[in-house]
Amino acid sequence: MSDAKYFQRGKIQELRAELNSDKRDPKHTKKKTVMKKIVANMTMGNDMSPLFPDIINVMNVPILEIKKMVYLYLINYARSKPDMAMMAITMFIKDVEDPNPLIRALAIRTMGYIQVEKIIDCLIDPLSHCLRDQDPYVRKTAAICVAKLYMYDRGLVESERLIEKLRDLLNDPNPTVVANAVAALTEISERSDDIQLSLNLSVASKLVTALNECSEWGQTYILEALMYYVPQDSGNAELLAERITPRLQHANSAVVLTSVKVIVYLMNYMEKEEDISNLCRKLSPPLVTLLSAEPEVQYVALRNILLVIQKRPEVLKNDMKVFFCKYNDPIYVKMAKLEIMFCLANAGNVDQVLSELKEYAAEVDVDFVRKAVRSIGRLAVKIESAAQRCIAALIELIETKVNYVVQEAIVVIKDIFRKYPNQYESIIGTLCENLDNLDEPEAKAAMIWIIGQYADRIENADVLLDDFLYTFLEEPVEVQLALLTATVKLFIKRPTAGQDLVPKVLKWATEEVDNPDLRDRGYVYWRLLSTDPAAAKAVVLSEKPQISTETDNMEPALLDELLLHVSSLASIYHKSPTTFISNYKPRYLMPSPVLQRSRSSQFESNLPIPQTTEVQEQKEATAANRLSFNGNGYDFSGFQTGNPYATEVVNRPEIRQSQVTGGADLLLDL
């Protein structure tokens, strides 16, 4: 029968009367019914705390189902009524010694949840006894209870040497007990400032052996703990990785991803490239299999795959097709797949990828289309041999006259011009035909940059810029900066065409805007043009640094850190856990004679890497951007200018990053 009937608001007096009824009830059926009503009312948010003394009396009932509900009630109300909770201590002590292991485990678990000082004091002796209980179910429950107690009173756990007793459970013959002991030790290590879990080869091997007999979540705990083993020999790392590879075939996605994390971690301590390549090939099939799961699991897998292939490009290098988007994929899955397609693209498969991206650009989802168009441009920058085909595809998309497609195409074409100067300028005419479609700041700024950069080749560049200047004061700063620079470029390349535009742009930039970046750039250009037009030309038209898609890749230090957090929120956000979890204890690759320093040179000491702070160190600008201005007025190109402002170079004090102190005061050498 359904329990829905119990979810009705009950009166305290009626429930108390039912609990204390003297009617004959040998099987305690009525008490079970009234306890269900009380728990249902608790669930609905009704205050059942006045029944506390009556519930204590029910603890004597030797029925497991009733005890579970009584303990649930105590957990819910003990903190708000600590004095009444003391009444339950005698029954707790009695239940901890009950012949039934389920009741013993239930009692010790409940006492761990009730974080009332006097109950905690009474918990120590029963907990120590339960850690050595003959039944494995009680031992595994007690192991987790130690971790809970540590969160409440760390000093008490350490003084009673419960961590040492917990460590002894790693040698327990029951794999479930081992898994819970590992989970508790890992949790304690992560939350403690002075305790660092450290496994030796012997314990690590025992844990791997226990994997075969553990539940799927027990396997996850054990695999997570193996991240605390630091190989001192390349052969040990290879052997351990090989023993873990069978877990890659597990049906549970958490086990698979955690296994991937451990194997990728152990690769940092391997010397033979052949062994690393073999393991990379073994990682591909299980990762592909995860893409057949439900969309949420797919997304988690895709975000983690993106990290793995940046560190180990050999993984999935031949599996491009599995990342092609399906019509029924959610948008977040499609976006993640696009990123991976771009990362895996190379000269051999670029035609396949380009064909897919062109199809995606005709989809109806605007964000997806934008990302697809931008990916085509990034492909051109990444793979030089495919640049011409990518340009042709972008021109086809521009000719569709779809507003957002045109604007995204112009933005990426600017990057292509930066990457390949003086090669694809023939398409500028096509771009100029679509000026009326531009209404987004980034697209406007890109088009203005193109006009300024090729002002000597665009006959009506001055007219085009003048059209943009009509709304100069209303434009976003990004567009204003582009207009200022493009106008100065036009003047330097074609003085006659630009002499009417430069004075008013400089006047607007220095007198009528509030943005300091725009105003300062206006002053720099003004004084450069006033004092030395040749120097202005050298600065403004200087050769631009070549761009590449490598700047899209994650910083190596951050990537190495995130790979230690595969299958966690950090690997989905692609952010260090320290940025969204307060007081988080950072992980880092521990030093070892076989740590591949060429790949992870930043992990050369046993101190934690200083974490990135909100305020970055302010670096001094280059001399080209720190100009001292002298003089008041200069005549250039037929008009008089004057800059009443003079800037002074000020040496600012450096803002230093705070150093994160590290080192473990207490090592759990296991």
Which residues does 515 contact at the CB level (< 8 Å), separation at least 6?
A: 477, 480
Q: What are phi and psi of 135, to 5 degrees?
A: -95, 130
Bridge-partner residues for 636, per DSSP? 639
Cα separation, 485 vs 492, whole angstroms: 11
Contact 265, 564 (CB under 8 A): yes
3-class DSSP string for 496-556: HHHCCHHHHHHHHHHHCCCCHHHHHHHHHHHHHHHHCHHHHHHHHCCCCCCCCHHHHCCCH
Is residue 197 classed as helix, strand or coil in its secondary structure? strand
Bridge-partner residues for 634, per DSSP? 641
Out of 102-116, 255-269, 646-660, pick the least confident.
646-660
What is the per-residue pLDDT across 1-46, written as a single tens digit (0 to 9) for each? Answer: 466 677 777 788 888 888 887 777 777 788 888 888 888 888 888 8
CB neighbours (10 Å) of residue 575? 16
Cα separation, 652 vs 646, whole angstroms: 18
Whether the per-residue pLDDT at 388 is higher than 70: the answer is: yes
Whether the per-residue pLDDT at 670 is higher than 50: the answer is: no
Instruction: Tell me what pLDDT residue 169 has.
Output: 92
One-letter identity of residue 293: A
Is residue 168 classed as helix, strand or coil in its secondary structure? helix
Mean pLDDT computed over 180-200: 89
One-letter identity of residue 345: A
What is the per-residue pLDDT across 256-275, written as a single tens digit (0 to 9) for each? Answer: 999 999 999 999 999 989 99
* CA dist 290 → 297, 302, 466 (Å): 7, 9, 55
The pair of three-digit structure tokens given for residue 637, joined into one six-digit string: 């190109």
One-letter identity of residue 215: S
Contact 588, 564 (CB under 8 A): yes
Mean pLDDT computed over 112-117: 82
* pLDDT tier at 61, thresholds 50, 70, 90: confident
Mean pLDDT of the chain: 84
pTM of the model: 0.80
Per-position DSSP letters for 600-642, written without gaps between them: -TT--SSSPPPPP-SSPPPPPPPGGGS-----SEEEETTEEEE
What is the per-residue pLDDT across 405-419, written as a single tens digit (0 to 9) for each? Answer: 999 999 999 999 989
Cα separation, 396 vs 374, whole angstroms: 14
Cα separation, 289 vs 146, whole angstroms: 38
Per-position DSSP letters for 241-290, written without gaps between them: HHHHGGGGG-S-HHHHHHHHHHHHHHHTT---HHHHHHHHHHHHHHHHHH
Instruction: Tell me what pLDDT residue 300 has.
Output: 96
The pair of three-digit structure tokens given for residue 102, joined into one six-digit string: 């389920």
Out of 19-33, 382-396, 461-475, 653-667, pick the least confident.
653-667
Cα separation, 3 vs 164, whole angstroms: 45
Whether the per-residue pLDDT at 571 is higher than 90: the answer is: yes
Q: What are phi and psi of 420, to 5 degrees?
A: -125, 75
Q: H or E segment at 464?
A: helix 461-469
One-letter identity of residue 304: N
Cα separation, 661 vs 46, whole angstroms: 48
Instruction: Tell me what pLDDT residue 597 has.
Output: 62
Cα separation, 105 vs 602, whole angstroms: 46
Nearest residue to 143 via CA among 194, 178, 190: 178
Nearest residue to 81 via CA among 58, 107, 50, 45: 50
Instruction: Tell me what pLDDT residue 646 has.
Output: 33
Mean pLDDT computed over 571-598: 87
